[in-house]
Amino acid sequence: MAATDEIQRLPEEGEIVIATVTQVTGHGAYVTLDEYNNMTGFLHISEIATGWIRNIERYIRPKQKAVLKVIRVNKVRGEVDTSLKQVSGEERKSKLIEVKKNDKAATFLDFIKSKLKLTDETVKEIEDVLLQKYDYLYDAFEAVSRKGLDAIQNINLSPEIKNAIEEASKRIPIPVVEISGIMEIILKKPNGIEIIKSTLANAEGSKGSANSTITYIGAPRYRIVVTAENFKVAEKFMNNTVEKLRANIEKQHGTFNFVRQDSKKSHTFQQVFNER
């Protein structure tokens, strides 16, 4: 049984892993694979960099963390050969982001454990339940950060645990984009101003992650600002809102003109909890 478990913990060829350099020799380096219970792997000098290497420690040093690619796995012997030079810049970046997210998810679970005074077994059960729906734990917290408890509504967890997950998720910065434009609206009727105000008030509001606000600049100009989680959502919401406004104003025999302004992207944090 133990042998079978060991085989199951072996990485796959081509997998990108995080490793810690334990020993540097004249022909390469021995590493431990952080995500595989510190299993030993080997990084041959020919897989460190292209060309002749005069000094291995110019590239890797003991205790250093490295992003490596698994290039050979001997499942019988439990041996793993790795490569540094075969890891692309994009693969390295993606792996580091994954590790960072996993670390954050672990912090969130620690917060939930401390807050609710849970056992390690219960925390593991929460983790298993979330991973039935999401590929990574962090994805679950991020979904709750964006959508609230609706993101885990159908997951079999107690209301107390779900509320703790929501509280932890408020730590995640939510990407926010903002687009805006200037509307020039003219309606030559005795009650034209009242009609314009009523039309604009009805146009303000939210749908999903998108939200619009309209402010008065000075007759006949008004600014509309739309915020959303990404530009695609913001643009669609802006276009729909502006076209509805145009149709309503022109239906009243008024004139409507719209000019887009520059866009910007930022992050917003929900309420932050104290790490414990």
For 70-85, the pLDDT digits (tens) are 999 998 888 999 999 9
Q: What is the pLDDT of residue 25?
A: 94
* pTM attached to this predicted model: 0.58
Report the helix count and the strand count for the chain, using DSSP H and E.
7, 11
Is the pLDDT assigned to residue 264 strictly greater than 50? yes
Is the pLDDT assigned to residue 207 strictly greater than 90? no
For residues 88-102, average pLDDT? 92
Is the pLDDT assigned to residue 180 strictly greater than 90? yes
C-alpha–C-alpha distance, residues 110 and 118, integer Å: 9
C-alpha–C-alpha distance, residues 256 and 151, integer Å: 40
Q: What percentage of residues in the chain have a pLDDT greater than 70?
A: 92
- If one compares 252 and 265, the residue with the highest pLDDT of the two is 252
Q: What percentage of residues in the chain have a pLDDT greater than 90?
A: 71
Superfamily of 174-268 according to CATH: EIF_2_alpha (3.30.70.1130)
User: Which residues are within 8 A (CB) of 224 and not within 5 positions of it... i.e. 6 or more apart?
Assistant: 180, 181, 182, 183, 203, 212, 213, 214, 238, 241, 242
Q: Among residues 114, 165, 110, which one has the least CA distance to residue 142?
A: 165
For residues 86-102, average pLDDT? 93
Handedness of CA 194, 195, 197, 198 (dihedral sign): positive
- Numbered ranges of CATH 1.10.150.190 in the chain: 91-171
C-alpha–C-alpha distance, residues 252 and 164, integer Å: 51
For residues 247-273, average pLDDT? 77
- Numbered ranges of CATH 3.30.70.1130 in the chain: 174-268
Is the pLDDT assigned to residue 269 strictly greater than 90? no
- If one compares 263 and 139, the residue with the highest pLDDT of the two is 139
For 16-37, the pLDDT digits (tens) are 999 999 999 999 999 999 999 9
Confidence of residue 266 (pLDDT cuts 50, 70, 90): low
For residues 56-81, average pLDDT? 93
Is the pLDDT assigned to residue 275 strictly greater than 50? no
For 126-148, the pLDDT digits (tens) are 999 999 999 899 999 988 987 88
Where does 2-86 sit in CATH, by number?
A: 2.40.50.140
**Yes or no: is domain 91-171 CATH 1.10.287.70?**
no
